[in-house]
Amino acid sequence: MHKELFKKLQEVQKLSYSPYSHFRVACIIKLKNGKEFIGANIENAAYGECLCAERVAMVQMKLAQIKNEDVEYLSVLGDSDEIVSPCGSCRQVMAELLSLDTKIIMFNRSGEYIESTVEGILPYTFTKSAL
Ligand code: THU
């Protein structure tokens, strides 16, 4: 399962600019209409300015005026034996730009994966409903 998606993520991973960590991350967001948005991590000599693959993809999706509910899933591949786990900042942006029940598919370099949801990886989510 998810063989094609894994292959596509491996292609996107080649776009990663990660000369400092050498940790290449790829993200593909798939919409319910089949359209895809990609992201890869883009690092910087000023380490704090490194951009995560997930946020690179989500920002492009938002600029294309995609609505939260139009997303089928967000997938992410990391360069590790461990299945990649999105950082806390990316999870918070997922809570804003995706839906709490949007599927999140996380891969390791061998193609093993875990599926969860935005709320599954960010329980007790802080959202606009609290404001
Ligand atoms: N990184 C991502 O792009 N996504 C994640 O989910 C985890 C971390 C990037 C940031 C940095 O370029 C490198 O991986 C090492 O932290």
* Span 21-47, pLDDT tens digits: 999 999 999 999 999 999 999 999 999
User: What are the tens digits of pLDDT across the range 66-100?
Assistant: 999 999 999 999 999 999 999 999 999 999 999 99
Query: 101, 94, 93: which is closest to 72 by C-alpha?
Result: 101
DSSP one-letter string for 87-104: -HHHHHHHHHHS-TT-EE
25 lines ligand 1 (CB under 6 A): yes
Structural domain that includes position 117: 2-130
Question: What is residue 1's predicted lDDT score, i.e. its pLDDT?
Answer: 82
39 Cβ inside 6 Å of ligand 1: no
pLDDT at 39: 98
What is the four-CA torsion angle of 124, 80, 57, 2, rounded to 10 degrees?
Answer: -90
Q: What are phi and psi of 15, to 5 degrees?
A: -85, -10
The CATH number of the domain where 45 resides is what? Answer: 3.40.140.10
Ligand 1 centroid to residue 81 C-alpha, Å: 15
On whether the CB atoms of residues 74 and 96 are closer than 8 A, the answer is no
Backbone angles phi, psi at 77, to 5 degrees: -125, 130
Domain total in the chain? 1
Ligand 1 atom with the shortest distance to the CA of 18: 12
Residue with CA closest to ligand 1 atom 8: 52
